[in-house]
Chain A
Amino acid sequence: MENVIDNQKESEALQQRRQQHDKAKRKRSRRMWLLIVPFLVLVVAFSYYPLFGWVYAFFDYEPPIPLRDSQFVGMQWFKMMVANSTQVRQLMQVLINTFAMSLLNIATSFFPLLFAIGLNEIRNKHFRNIIQTLTTLPNFISWVLVYSIAFAMFSTNGMVNDLLQNLNVIAAPIKFLDSDSLTWIKMLLWSTWKGLGWGSIIYLASISGIDQELYEAARVDGASRFQLIRYITIPALMPTFFVMLMLSVSNFLNNGMDQYFVFQNAFNQTHIQVLDLYVYNVGMGQNSLSYATAISMLKSLVSVALLWIVNIVSKKTRGASII
């Protein structure tokens, strides 16, 4: 009997404790939920709210006439995008430019890694600091200023042309900026010049995190400097490298527009117009905001297509999808 009562008491106590436990859990999950609220708000405000702007693609919007007085035109602008082969060719060229420049950037994403290793090998600390500072600085210069530097150096009467002409190396100035030769490569060089030092910082941090004992042990075994780099530094940096690579792949279509905007001119327009710049030129330059909105929606379409492809590849190779 006593035993039964004891059991009953025990189970009551147990239930009470469970209730308390549930309560605590609920409280905790509410706290957890509150923690993510700010981020949800940000996502809604900056990723979902702007999507309302897509509505402009279905109207004939022209400022100052407000949207509510604009005419609804349905799919007119989307039809126009593919209305004739020339238009389609132009859009394809824009997509090719976007892909090409993104691919070039990804293909050269190991530059900062090599640069960091090279920097790390410099023994003189002062010299190393100077190099690091000088290469990091360009990252903080806006593209507008980068262009004015480019203009001062490479325009038809810029420093380089003047120098070459005065040395009688060339007779007529070389057109570095206003020609369409090697536009992609030139753009890559500028973005590399600007971002190399900054991009290497994360690798320098990783290098300092490598266990020194590894190097010491290798040295005892008679490894040369190149062998140290080859068998210790590079393998240790690979995880960081792949994280950075993934991040740049996810930014595939967002290759920015300010760089291309400042460098564009009548001569290089065919190869410099990336998607973002094209949308800007159509919307702001050519005054067709609705059409530009329709084109910008293309970006989301391409992104979804890319995601889908990557997902298939992931399923095939790893057996698991990423979404």
Chain B
Amino acid sequence: MDKNSTLFKSVVSGIKKVAVVATVALASVALFACSSSSADNSSKKAEKDDGKLMTVTVYDDLANYQGLAKGWFAQYVQDKFNIKLKMVAPNVAGGGNTLFDTRTAAGNLGDLIITGTGHVNKLVKANLLTDMTPYLDGMKYIKKYDGATKAISDLADKKGTWGIASSVSSGSPTEASEGLEATTVPYIRWDLYKKIGYPTLNNTDDLLNALKEMQTEARKEEGKKDIYAISLFKDWDGASMQNAGQNLAFYGWEPTNYALAKGNGSKYESLIANNSQYVQGLEFLNKAQQMGLVDPESTTQNWDTMYAKYQAGKVLFSYWSFLGQGAYNTSANMAAGKGFELAPLKGMKVFSNGNMPDGNTTFIGIGSKAKNKARLVKFINWLYSPEGVQVQQAQSTGYSAGIKGLTWKMDGDQPVLTDFGKKALLEGGSVKMPAKYGSGTWKDGISTLNFVAVMQYDKDPTTGYKYGYVTWPSVLKINETKLSKDWSEHMGGATSTMDYLKKNNELLVAAGVSYTAPEDPATVATTRGSVQTQIVSSSWKMVMAKNDTEFKSLLTSMQKTVKGLGYDDVYKVDLKNSKAKNAARQKVIEQYKDEK
């Protein structure tokens, strides 16, 4: 007993001692943490460039590649700036905001930062962005788009040049930002549509019936059972099920999370309202699913798997030109009369964003911990220069034309694609790069930044033509194929999707504005989180519902649940933001009229 009590006493006193030591240690850790992070990094003086080869960590919300960039674009940047790009991509890492949260909480998001303008305020407040002002001497192109730098500065509460917005344009904000193809319209496999005799598509039900016939036709032709009219994926789900929301654009609607607005601000509705355009989008997909038109893998596959299916001709409907046409309309397929083209769906009023002189809601900036900031500013300046736009914004197809002298050249006063360029840009891009430009194929080496600095339908001052090579007269001639001729014949002689929509008054251009919604109040943000989880999962269940009764009951229970969670508070905020955006549009339209 005696022994035990001594032991017990010593243990107790020991615990006390440990507790004291631990408290002191914790306090000192806390103090140290405070003192180290309170040092101000935004010194106004310019730092000198050491000129050495450096690896730059790029935090990029748009990137679809993670790790050290390889291939011709990486080589180009290394030769020009002595910079290696190391990509950090939330899209690849997954987990939503996790990467942004953990990296910013640790005090270093990246050397170069490409993220949403909604983050500007917080990043500046937490001292994670560099003020570029001291480095701007001679930075011609950053200065040229001063509206885009001002748009970012306005979002911060602190004076400075914190970044530059993406997708800037010198075009009119009241004109569509698209060139030949609209961003979101119903694209179908035209060759199969032809085979079933060009049926009239008065509404989406007709479209589904046509797709059903096309699917039967395609399966018969190819002898494969795994061809589906529609294939979906969940990678881009956010506030709602992204795919289901696409048909909003067919009829001129634009979502601001849960507030749906007609592009001209004439009408507003709630996303979950009984017959809202979004619910109609779900109905459309559910009907398709009940008709056996939806790929059963839709619920589990990702973008890559789905894209491969498009390339193999196993999907017959696409919401976007960059998916259907991008994957399937190769020169070989088009010459054979196969490919995706706009479906002549009646009653459309396609939503189109106008040009945004001050840029879009993504921006590029420099992290506060970056080294050789002068060089990084030069790099950003280059991204906005004609050469930068040509090279960095070249994709495997569409978009810019790439490296002058390699993929394109001037023929007299006209830009034309070289033979190599045709292989790279029109025939799938699996052509090997010449040794001078690094190794690998064209399509594997394209820019991992996936960043649009200047809109592709802006005029390139060095050529006098637009950046997007598909609009060059020389390329238009090449693209005049069996497919495009047949399509044009049946579309009243239209030369392109945009041409058709304009001629038929089926286009609704919403004036281009750089509008960043203010941050949600904390409780609204949390409610939004639980509401969105509920809406996304219910939407998927609704699309996969076995019959209309199940669909209806899922809809009712979703409405009830999210309303119970506080949907109305979130909707109120969204509606306010949506109205503010449309008011800004009105202002831009008037401003532009005055300038004219």
Chain A positions within 8 Å of B, measured between CB atoms, are 25-26, 29-30, 32-33, 36-37, 40-41, 44, 48-49, 52, 60, 62-66, 68-69, 71, 73, 76-77, 80, 83-87, 89-90, 151, 155-157, 172-173, 175, 177-178, 265-267, 269, 281-282, 284-291
Contacts and interface: CB of A to CB of B under 8 A. Distances in A.
Nearest to B529: A286
A266 B525 contact: no
Interface string B510-524: 000000000000110
B526 interface: yes
A151 B11 contact: no
B533 interface: yes
B590 interface: no
A37 B34 CA distance: 30
A90 B530 contact: yes
A265 B300 contact: yes
12 contacts: A25-B3, A32-B10, A44-B19, A64-B105, A64-B122, A65-B126, A265-B299, A266-B540, A267-B540, A269-B537, A284-B98, A286-B529
A285 B96 contact: yes
A153 B296 CA distance: 15
Query: Which of A52, A63, A178, A290 is packed against the most chain B CB atoms within 10 Å?
Result: A63
Contacts of B126: 63-66
B3 A267 contact: no
Interface stretch (B70-78, B206-214, B403-411, B561-569): B561-569
B104 A284 contact: no
Interface of B: 3, 6-7, 10-11, 14-15, 18-19, 22, 26, 34, 37, 95-98, 100-102, 104-105, 107, 109, 122-123, 125-126, 128, 226, 234, 296-297, 299-300, 522-523, 525-526, 528-530, 532-533, 536-537, 539-541, 544, 560-561, 563-566
B566 A177 contact: no
B526 A291 contact: yes
A292 B102 CA distance: 15
Contact of B299 (A33, A89, A172, A178): A178
Contact of A63 (B101, B297, B532): B101
Contact of B7 (A32, A66, A85): A32
B533 A64 contact: no
A176 to B, nearest CB: 11
B564 A40 contact: no
B161 to A, nearest CB: 20
A92 to B, nearest CB: 13
Nearest to A44: B22
Contacts of B3: 25, 29
B105 A173 contact: no
A87 B299 contact: no
Contacts of A265: 299-300
B376 to A, nearest CB: 20
Contact of B14 (A40, A80, A156, A172): A40
A33 B526 contact: no
Nearest to B13: A33
A309 to B, nearest CB: 28
A49 B26 contact: yes
Given A44-B22, A284-B101, 18 more contacts: A25-B6, A29-B6, A29-B10, A40-B18, A73-B522, A86-B565, A87-B565, A157-B226, A157-B296, A172-B296, A266-B537, A267-B299, A284-B98, A285-B533, A286-B526, A286-B533, A287-B525, A288-B529
A84 B297 contact: no
